[in-house]
Amino acid sequence: MEATIALAGNPNSGKTTLFNTLTGARQHVGNYPGVTVEKKQGTYSRGGLDIKIVDLPGTYSLNPYSMEEEVARDFLLNDQPAMVIDIVDASNLQRNLYLAIQLMEMGLNVCLALNMIDIARTRGIEIDTEKLSRLLGVPVVPTIARTGEGSKMLIEAASKASQYDRSPLTISYGDDLDQALDEMEDLISGKDFLGDICHPRWIALKYLEKDGKIISQGRERDPELSAELGEITRRVADHLEKTMNTYPEAVIADHRHGYIRSIIKGVITRHHGEDRFFLSDRIDMVLTNRFVGPLIMIGVIMGLYKFTFTYSELPVNWLESLFGWLSSSADAALPDGLVKSLIISGVIDGVGGVLGFVPLIMFMFLGISLLEDSGYLARMAYMLDRVFRYFGLHGSSVMAFIVSGGIAGGCAVPGVMATRVLKSPKERLATLLTAPFMNCGAKLPVFALLVAAFFSENEAMVMLAITLIAWCGALIVAKILRLTIIRGESTPFVMELPPYHLPTFRGLFIHTWERTWEYIKKAGTVILGISIVLWAMMTFPALPESQQTEYERQRQGLLASTPSETIHEVETAQGRTLPTEESPALQTGIEAIDRAENEARVRYSLAGRIGVALETISSLAGFDWRTNIALVGGLAAKEVVVSTLGTVYSLGETDPEESSSLAETLRESPHWSPLAAWSLIIFTIFYAPCIVAVVCIAREAGSWKWGAFSVVFNTSLAFGLSAIVFQTGRLLGF
Ligand code: GDP
Ligand code: MG
């Protein structure tokens, strides 16, 4: 006959995992007779062994207080397995050994599987297995059920030990109970009372514990003896009540715990980890408190935000000056023409655009590394998980959203990179595709321009509305994506919170630098090419020779009408050195011609033609060709929208930060209305991310497919929403 091994253990100790490891596919699931408790059986046949394995229900004790406990105990008493493997959670030995003690008291052949030894180790708990085995008198085998580590050794140890009969464990329960137990034991063994169920001392113990099931069985067999045992129990209970104000069950439990404590005292060594855990729990009582926690979290988020965007300002400015200097040097050194334009607008601006993000990324990663390494990030995720989970995201998604501009003024490039803290690929993808909907710093000038032009009375309200629209849009789109193309179960949130610890400077520095360098390598190479393509789109085809000469002729005509002694060399907006004079009239005149030429040039270029061609469709959302060109330009970088609008409205290059004259122009333009402004605001929030962000999305998502998706999907979504807003608004008569 094949031997039976039963797996016992507390709930969540890893019984089922171990059972699956041992039996593989050879298992049979049924119910214990008459109850709904699941009974799992299987066979282990390896290395010449052929063993039947039964997975008992998880229990903390063997007093039949619950159906699971009763089922487990009945099985052990009736089927008398050759061996019971008690799976104990090594990180929680004190509590788990309670069941082991009871099994051993029953006189069963027990073997301990010290499971989750990996978790115990990471918590700094070291267990001397040999000593534990010696003290308990049973084999003890460390295991990691999840990986199967130790399972072979466990079975070998168990089947070897099953060949020896062991005597039941006897624990002292103090003088009073020990005396009663001895007395009862004598009576029981004299009559072989319930001898088929268990050994005498255990039956006596059950009488002391007032175990209803055993007592009623005893009453049936031998009412007289049962009454006698009941009388002894009453006597000792009265005595305990009088002397110590306690009762037998409590004394028994106390002594069992005491016995366990004395055993593990010399077996467990706790490293600093345990103390850290204790301290961490204390800290968590405040930091993840239901009321204070969120407030602290808002503070931390604001802090990170400020840190990223305020302190990076200085190096950003240095880089800007550096590239400004490079531009003007190139300007001075190179002759006018295409090459110069390519080098300045294509190469220097492109590379500058990429490197301009470097300080931002460094500061953001430094901040996030700090939060991650210290353990706080896990707490944030823990607190926010319920909200984000509803939208198919993860608590850790919040970082990406905030950094991308969840508080207006972030940047999607570091935001997309911040999704690295997400471990699950699906939630990460959904986050990095929706984070660019946040209002990054480059979209702000566009909003500022439109708000100044059309909603100057309630600026704050409109800006708040814009922020809310971005958040709602991002979360709803995330939900939709997670229900459709990125469908899949959310990863179960790992509740385990790592202990807090102070990050090291070295660790922070290395983390930050690695990530930043990766960005430079990954984005830098592609951006240069794309930036040149965009430059070419705005430059070619060039204005026909005849038109260029016509503008030149106008300028010369204006000059000719001016007295020559007041003429000096002055640089125009286009960077061309032209003779002009101190009279404002002439200067304005020349600049007006320059701008007209600029407008014509942009309109004539490929970007311009696309803008014009799109006008038929884009008018649905209220955009004319000028807006279209600006939006195409915005693909390079969102701040270009404002400067391009300036160009096409013949105002010359417009500094995005000082656009008041442009605002005025828009307000008075017949093409514009508050409704059209709203439409453009909506479009700006949702349309394709700038090119650097797209490259980052493609890199982080691991495929250009997702980069392309974010361009096409976001732009379609943005256009759909804008058109709906514009058309509905018109119907309602705005
Ligand atoms: P049962 O309630 O005793 O059947 O426990 P399960 O087998 O369902 O395991 C509970 C959880 O602990 C599962 O998520 C397992 O993947 C995990 N687990 C089980 N054994 C180990 C282990 O040795 N190490 C670690 N880290 N996790 C484990
Ligand atoms: Mg289970």
Is the CB–ligand 1 distance for residue 9 below 6 Å? Answer: yes
How far, in Å, is the centroid of ligand 1 from the Cα of 386? Answer: 24
- Residue 634 has what pLDDT? 84
CA nearest ligand 1 atom 15, residue: 14
Residue 612 and residue 531 share a domain = yes
Q: Residue 476 above 90 pLDDT?
A: yes
Which ligand is located closest to the Cα atom of residue 40? 2
Report if residue 533 sits inside a domain: yes
Residue 202 structural domain: 175-245
Question: CB of 626 within 8 A of CB of 614?
Answer: no
Residue 641 and residue 561 share a domain = no
Indicate the pTM of the whole model. Answer: 0.54
Residue 459 and residue 367 share a domain = yes
Residue 407 and residue 324 share a domain = yes
Out of 600, 618, 644, pick the residue that ends a domain: 600
Q: Which residues of 88-113 are buried (b: 16+ CB within 10 A; e: fewer)?
A: bbbbbbeebbbbbbbbbbbbbbbbbb
Question: CB of 383 within 8 A of CB of 398?
Answer: no
Is the CB–ligand 1 distance for residue 16 below 6 Å? Answer: yes
Is the CB–ligand 1 distance for residue 116 below 6 Å? Answer: yes
Which ligand is located closest to the Cα atom of residue 145? 1
How far, in Å, is the centroid of ligand 2 from the Cα of 138? Answer: 24
Give the pLDDT mean for 616-627. 90
Residue 525 and residue 553 share a domain = no
How far, in Å, is the centroid of ligand 2 from the Cα of 59? Answer: 10
The residue length of the chain stands at 734
Residue 301 and residue 410 share a domain = yes
Report if residue 341 sits inside a domain: yes
Residue 713 and residue 627 share a domain = yes
Which ligand is located closest to the Cα atom of residue 90? 1
Is the CB–ligand 1 distance for residue 14 below 6 Å? Answer: yes
- Residue 429 has what pLDDT? 93
Residue 718 and residue 655 share a domain = yes
- Residue 494 has what pLDDT? 44
Phi/psi of residue 376, nearest 5 degrees: -75, -35
Report if residue 218 sits inside a domain: yes
User: Given ligand 1 and candidates 13, 15, 17, which is best to mutate, with the most ligand atoms within 8 Å of its CB?
Assistant: 17
DSSP type of residue 455: -
Report if residue 275 sits inside a domain: no
* 326: number of Cβ within 10 Å: 17
How far, in Å, is the centroid of ligand 2 from the Cα of 16? Answer: 4
Taking only the tens place, the pLDDT of each residue in 391-422 is 999 888 888 898 888 876 678 988 998 888 77
| DSSP H helices in 288-312 | 292-310
pLDDT-derived band at 564 (thresholds 50, 70, 90) equals: low
Q: Within 13 Å and on the Cβ side, how many CA atoms surround 11? A: 4
Q: Residue 731 above 50 pLDDT?
A: yes
How far, in Å, is the centroid of ligand 2 from the Cα of 13? Answer: 8
Report if residue 67 sits inside a domain: yes
Task: Give the Cα separation of 403 and 654 in Å (integer).
Answer: 27
Is the CB–ligand 1 distance for residue 12 below 6 Å? Answer: yes
Q: Residue 220 above 50 pLDDT?
A: yes
Which ligand is located closest to the Cα atom of residue 147? 1
Report if residue 675 sits inside a domain: yes
Question: CB of 377 within 8 A of CB of 371?
Answer: yes
- Residue 32 has what pLDDT? 67
Taking only the tens place, the pLDDT of each residue in 283-328 is 888 888 888 888 998 888 778 777 877 888 888 888 888 888 888 8
Write the CB contacts of 62 (distance below 8 Å, at least 6 apart in sequence). Answer: 69, 72, 73, 76, 99, 102, 103, 106
Residue 182 and residue 66 share a domain = no
Residue 683 and residue 536 share a domain = yes
Out of 553, 579, 600, pick the residue that ends a domain: 600
How far, in Å, is the centroid of ligand 2 from the Cα of 638? Answer: 55
User: Given ligand 1 and candidates 12, 16, 99, 153, which is best to mutate, with the most ligand atoms within 8 Å of its CB?
Assistant: 12
- Residue 15 CA, closest ligand 1 atom number: 3
Which ligand is located closest to the Cα atom of residue 10? 1
pLDDT-derived band at 1 (thresholds 50, 70, 90) equals: very low
Q: Residue 562 above 80 pLDDT?
A: no
Residue 720 and residue 689 share a domain = yes
Count: domains in the chain? 5
User: Given ligand 1 and candidates 89, 146, 149, which is best to mutate, with the most ligand atoms within 8 Å of its CB?
Assistant: 146
Task: Give the Cα separation of 370 and 300 in Å (integer).
Answer: 11
Tell me which of 134-148, 196-210, 556-570, 678-692 is least confident: 556-570
Residue 591 and residue 609 share a domain = no
* 333: number of Cβ within 10 Å: 9
Say which residue, 281 or 567, is predicted with more confidence: 281
